[in-house]
Amino acid sequence: MLLWFLRRLLQAMFVMLAMSLIVFIGLHAIGNPVDILISPEADQAERARIITQLGFDKPLWQQYAYFLQGALHGDLGRSFVFNEPALQLILQRMPATLELAVTAVLLSVLVGLPLGLFAGLYPNSFAGRAVMAGSILGFSLPGFWVGLMLIMVFAVSLGWLPSSGRGTTAALFGVQWSFLTRDGLAHLVLPALNLSLFNISLVLRLARAGVRETMPLDYIRFARAKGLSPTRVVFVHVLRNILIPVVTVVGLELGSTIAFSVVTESVFAWPGMGKLIIDSINVLDRPVIVAYLMIVVVMFVTINLVVDLLYTALDPRVRLGGRA
Amino acid sequence: MAVLEKPVAAPRARPREQSPFARIAGDFAQSPVAIAGLVVIVVIILLAVTASLIAPQNPYDLAQLDIMDGRLPPGSSSADGLTFWLGTDDQGRDMLSGILYGLRISLIVGAGSALVAGLVGTSLGLTAAYAGGRVEAAIMRLVDLQLSFPAILVALMILAALGKGVVNVMLALVIVEWASYARTARGAALAERAREYIEAAECLALPKWRVVFRHLLPNCLPPLIVIGTIQVARAIALEATLSFLGLGVPITEPSLGLLIANGYQYMLSGKYWISFYPGIALLVTIMAINLVGDQLRDVLNPRLQR
C-alpha cells in the first residue's frame, strides 16, 4: 500500500518534470515572448533591461535550472504579462473554475438521474425513446458550439440570461462566489448547463441501464409482492442500487469536467483558470503555462488517487498494487 | 441467397458458406438508423472530396472575394449574381463553400490522426500482449498514465509547446488517442494468444512479426474497428474544439471549428449564420459516425450475437 502510494508520487513527479521540460523547450522554439511583451517603441536600452529582468539573456538550460530551483521552494515564477507570481494568479482563478465544474456535475445528476429513471421505467414509450435519442445528441454535440447556440437563444434572442462573466459575487470564507447572489446565479446558469450537457447524457444512460437491470431482479419483485407502493419501490429500492455506478462515474468525471471547462470558460468569458491558460498560451506567457501544468498534474494525480482509494473502500475485492 | 434463406431461420442454421463479411453486412443492415448514418458519411466524404468542383466559389482565393459582400444573411446575392444560400462571413466568403472546404480539413485531420494513432496504438498493444514481461509493463504503464489525463488537456499542452498547424494538431491527436487503441489491442490479443492457432504458428517456427501481424492481428480486428470508428468522431470533435480555442489549424486552412470561431464575435449582434451552419455540418458528421459506430459495436460483439 505504502509502496503503491510512493510509486504514484514518483510517477507524478516524473510527469511534471518531463512535461515542464517539453513545454520549456517547445515555447522557446515557437517564439520569443519578448516580441509580444515589449512595445515596438521601446529603445534598445529599455529592451535589454527587460530581457535581463525576465532572465531571457541566460541560456535556456539555465532558465530551466532556475525554474526547478524555484519550484522546489514553491515559487513557479512570475507571469511575464501580469508581473504577478504565476501560482497566485492561477489559484486566484481556481474558485471560479471549481464553482462552474461542481455546479455542472450537480446539474448532470439532478437532470440526468430523473430522466434516466423515466427512460428505464418506460423504455418503449415515446418519451422514453425521445430521451434516449436526446442522449445520443448530447454525446455528439460539440460543446463549444452548443455554448454559442445557448448564448444566441437565451442571451441574444430572448434576452433572459447574461452571456458572459461571473456577475456580482459575494464572499464566503474569503473567496468570491457567484452562486450566492441572484445576478451571479443568472450568470452561472448557461455555462453550467453547457458544461453539464455531456455528463447529463452519461448519467442518463447509466441510470437507464441500471433500472433495466435492476427491475427484473428478485428483490424488486419481492418488494412489490409485499405490497409496497410503486413510488417506494422505485425511489428506495431501485434508486439506491443504481446510485453506486452513477456516483462512481460522476466522481471520475469531475476531473474531465474541470479540464473541459477550458472551452466553456472561453465561450462564456468566465474568468476561471481555463480562460487564463488559453490567454497565456496566445501570448507565450511561459511561467503561467508551466505553473498551470504543474497544478493540473497535481490535481489529477490527487483525483485519481482519491478515486482509487474510494474503490478499495467500496469494493473489497479491489487490492491496490496487488498485481505484481 | 436472401431468397433461399428463411427469414426466421436461427443464426446457427445459416448456410456455412456465407462469408463473415456478408454476415456482418447483413447484421449491420438490420438498423435503418445505422444505414442512414452510413449514407450520410458517404455523402459527406463525397462533398469534401469534390469541394473544389461543387463549391460556388473558392473561399480562399482572395480575388473571388468582395468585402462588400461581408456578413450577408442566408439567401442574399452578391453584385455579380452569386447567391449565398447560407450567408457570408465577415470577409464576404460564401459560407456554403467555406463549409465544404472546412469539411475537407476536418475529415483529413480526424481520419488521418485516428488512422496513425490506430497503427501506433495497435502495434504497441499487440507487442505488449505478445512480448509480456518488462516490455508489456512499460507500455501499459504509459497507457495508464496517458488515459489518466483528459484528452483536451493533453492536446492543449502539446499544442502550447508545438504551436499551431495542421501537422501539429494531428500529432497532438495521435498522442491523445493511441492509448485507447493500445489498451483494446492488448485486451483482444491476450485472449487470442492462448488459442491453438497461435501455438500452431509458433510451432511452424514462423518469425515473430509474422505471427503477430498475420495471425494475431486479423483476429483482434473487430474491437479495433469499433474503437477506430468512435475515435474518428472524437478526433473531429477535438480538432474543432482546439481550432475554436485558436490552438488548432491556422487561418489559411480553416476547419469547421475555426469557421465557428470566426462567427463567435458576430453572434451577439444576431448574425447567427456564420457559426450556426458550420456547427450543423460538424454535428451531422459526428452523429453519423457515432450511429455507425454504435451499430458496428453491436454487430461485431460476439456476446450479442443473436
pLDDT digits (tens, 9 = 90+) for B55-65: 777 777 766 66
What are the residues whose beta carbons fall under 8 Å from the beta carbon of A99, sequence distance 6 or more? A177, A178, A179, A188
Check A142 against B279: CB less than 8 A apart. yes
Check B161 against A255: CB less than 8 A apart. no
Grid coordinates representing A71 are: 519550484
State percent of chain A over pLDDT 70. 87
Check B279 against A148: CB less than 8 A apart. yes
Check A151 against B267: CB less than 8 A apart. yes
How sure is the predictor about B81, in pLDDT bands with cuts at 50, 70 and 90? low
Chain B residues with CB-CB distance to A139 below 8 A? 290
Work out the minimum CA distance from B201 to partner chain A, whole angstroms. Answer: 30
Mean per-residue pLDDT for B32-51?
Answer: 86
How sure is the predictor about B113, in pLDDT bands with cuts at 50, 70 and 90? very high
Cα nearest neighbour of B33 on chain A? A133
Can you tell me the distance from the alpha carbon of A134 to that of A151, in angstroms, rounded to the nearest whole number? 20
Check B245 against A141: CB less than 8 A apart. no
User: Above 0.90 for ipTM, yes or no?
Assistant: no
Q: Are B281 and B254 in contact (CB under 8 A)?
A: no
Can you tell me the distance from the alpha carbon of A152 to that of A34, in angstroms, rounded to the nearest whole number? 38
Chain A residues with CB-CB distance to B287 below 8 A? 136-137, 140
Check B157 against A293: CB less than 8 A apart. yes
A277: contact with B, CB 8 A cutoff: yes
Say which DSSP state A321 is in. Answer: T
How many CB atoms lie under 10 A from the CB of residue A77? Answer: 21
Which range is least confidently modeled, A251-255, B72-76, B235-239?
B72-76
A260: contact with B, CB 8 A cutoff: yes
Side chain identity, residue A221: R
Q: Which is nearest to A264 in space by CA: B241, B239, B270, B148?
A: B241
How sure is the predictor about B3, in pLDDT bands with cuts at 50, 70 and 90? very low
Check B241 against A155: CB less than 8 A apart. no
> Residues of chain A whose pLDDT is less than 70?
28-42, 54, 56, 170-171, 174, 180, 311, 314-324
Chain A residues with CB-CB distance to B242 below 8 A? none
Check B157 against A300: CB less than 8 A apart. no
Cβ burial, residue B299 (10 Å; 0-12/13-18/19+): buried
A282: contact with B, CB 8 A cutoff: yes
CA atoms within 13 A on the CB side of B264: 22
pTM: 0.81
Mean per-residue pLDDT for B133-157?
Answer: 85
